[in-house]
């Protein structure tokens, strides 16, 4: 299941030495790519963002326009901000569903649920058009109100809820969210969707607790502290290997859902292991389908000019912009992959815990853990012989 690199987006090279319990991750991600914006106009920059970032492009566009608005001292209307948040959540839903319907089956030896994904993609795209049919929400800083009325949105969200209920969860999302650990066990045993199949596969191999970590969930990041490091001489080093005090930080669904009752129950039983991470993704699918906030996703801790923080599919995304008149003087981006796949981050800790022979067993577990933590780019996995 190792995925190839994607050209200019780079990749992660992950090497595991099971006998030595050693894990190394090196990255060829172009972390300074945002410097391409420097010297360009605001309009040109907002036009280039979707071309430069294919993964989580909506989150990148939203963070970019918000950082620029903050640097300008302008503010978008409340309805505009709400609409942007919905677009980011729809993108998160798409990313989660892609994993569950097209990639989870492969771990069980099943075929991708392409038909189900096609149905959902149609509804997600229709919902996006209902929110931002003219594509102006993230291209016009300071926009007062959305251009589209969004009248079709409730219908599209209702259709999404029905398709997720039938093809992903097997029951209504609201009912699934109310489930505790005993109900989840029954759901896994008696449901035949790709989501339930993978969880059943994991339990059948006693892998539910593999990959436990000592990482802390991403807290709110203070604006002043972010500005100090992103504007300082060590900005490049911090962006490549971010740290926050002692211990590693995890961001993404597992961190956002740390207080959801089902995730609390699973963590008490299995730690922050594989089954807990997989279930957190399903919790978010249900929440977004019901148009609910994503767990502990209140990201800003104080505001600062030229700074934007938001929760993307894989975790906390930060954009820092300094303007010189109508042009970009400095642009920095701090992405979730560098937190999760850093030198002693959650991925390294999780993979280090797999010391199993034969190496084929290590590979199968490692692929699942990498997938559950979910980097923004492709990766190559190498497992040393025992």
Read off the pLDDT of each residue in 362-382 and give the average, rounded to a whole number: 94
Residues present in the chain in total? 386
| 5 pLDDT higher than 60 | no
* Domain spanning 13-132+151-383, CATH architecture: Orthogonal Bundle (1.10)
Number of CB atoms found within 10 A of residue 26's CB: 12
Read off the pLDDT of each residue in 60-85 and give the average, rounded to a whole number: 95
Token pair 């993704």 is found at 281
pLDDT in tens, 41-68: 999 999 999 888 888 999 999 999 999 9
% the chain with pLDDT above 90: 78
Sign, CA dihedral 238-241-245-249, equals positive
Residue 3 pLDDT: 65
Residue 251 pLDDT: 96
% the chain with pLDDT above 70: 93
Read off the pLDDT of each residue in 335-363 and give the average, rounded to a whole number: 86
Read off the pLDDT of each residue in 337-342 and give the average, rounded to a whole number: 95
d(CA 70, CA 355): 48
| 218 pLDDT higher than 60 | yes
Residue 353 pLDDT: 87
Residue 195 pLDDT: 98
Enter the pTM of the model.
0.94
Residue 20 pLDDT: 81
CB 227 within 8 A of CB 304: yes
The residue among 45 and 214 whose pLDDT is bigger is: 45
Domain residue extents for the chain: 13-132+151-383
Residue 355 pLDDT: 63
Residue 148 pLDDT: 65
Average pLDDT, whole number, for the chain?
Answer: 91
Strand order in the sheet with 378-383: 22-27, 11-17, 378-383
- Core vs surface per residue 290-329: b (16+ CB within 10 A) or e: beeebbbbebeeeebebbbbbbbbbbbbbbbbbbeeeebe
The residue among 355 and 118 whose pLDDT is bigger is: 118
Lowest mean pLDDT among 120-124, 222-226, 352-356: 352-356
Residue 99 pLDDT: 97
Lowest mean pLDDT among 11-25, 183-197, 357-371: 357-371
208 — pLDDT class (breaks 50, 70, 90): very high
First to last CA, the chain: 21
246 — pLDDT class (breaks 50, 70, 90): confident
| 1 pLDDT higher than 80 | no
CB 299 within 8 A of CB 288: no
């Amino acid at each position: 299941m190792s995925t190839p690199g994607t050209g200019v987006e780079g990749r992660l090279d992950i090497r595991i030495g099971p006998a030595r319990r050693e894990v190394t991750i090196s990255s060829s991600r172009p972390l300074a790519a945002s410097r391409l914006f420097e010297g360009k106009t605001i309009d040109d920059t907002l036009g280039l963002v979707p071309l430069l970032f294919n993964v989580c492009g909506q989150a990148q566009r939203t963070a970019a326009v918000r950082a620029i608005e903050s640097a300008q001292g302008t503010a978008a209307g409340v309805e505009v901000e709400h609409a942007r948040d919905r677009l980011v959540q729809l993108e998160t839903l798409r990313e989660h569903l892609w994993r569950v319907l097209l990639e989870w089956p492969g771990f069980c030896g099943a075929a991708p649920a392409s038909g189900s994904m096609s149905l959902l993609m149609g509804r997600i795209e229709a919902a996006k058009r209902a929110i931002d049919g003219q594509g102006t929400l993230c291209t016009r800083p300071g926009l007062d109100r959305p251009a589209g009325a969004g009248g079709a949105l409730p219908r599209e969200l209702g259709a999404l809820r029905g398709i997720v209920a039938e093809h992903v969860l097997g029951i209504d999302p609201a009912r699934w969210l109310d489930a505790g650990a005993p109900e989840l066990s029954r759901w896994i045993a008696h449901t035949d969707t790709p989501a339930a199949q993978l969880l059943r596969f994991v339990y059948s191999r006693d892998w539910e607790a593999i990959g436990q970590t000592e990482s802390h969930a991403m807290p709110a990041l203070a604006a002043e502290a972010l500005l100090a490091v992103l504007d300082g001489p060590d900005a490049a080093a911090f962006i490549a290997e971010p740290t926050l005090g002692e211990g590693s930080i995890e961001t993404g669904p597992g961190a956002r859902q740390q207080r959801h009752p089902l995730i609390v129950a699973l963590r008490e039983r299995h730690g922050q292991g594989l089954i807990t991470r997989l279930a957190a993704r399903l919790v978010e699918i249900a929440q977004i389908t019901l148009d609910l906030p994503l767990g502990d996703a209140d990201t800003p801790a104080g505001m600062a000019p030229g700074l934007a923080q938001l929760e993307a599919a894989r975790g906390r995304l930060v954009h820092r912009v300094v303007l010189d008149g109508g042009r970009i003087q400095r642009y920095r981006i701090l992405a979730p992959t560098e937190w999760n796949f850093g030198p002693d981050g959650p991925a390294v800790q999780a993979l280090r815990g797999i010391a199993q022979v034969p190496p084929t067993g290590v590979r199968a577990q490692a692929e699942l853990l990498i997938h559950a933590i979910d980097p923004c780019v492709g990766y190559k996995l190498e497992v040393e012989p025992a």
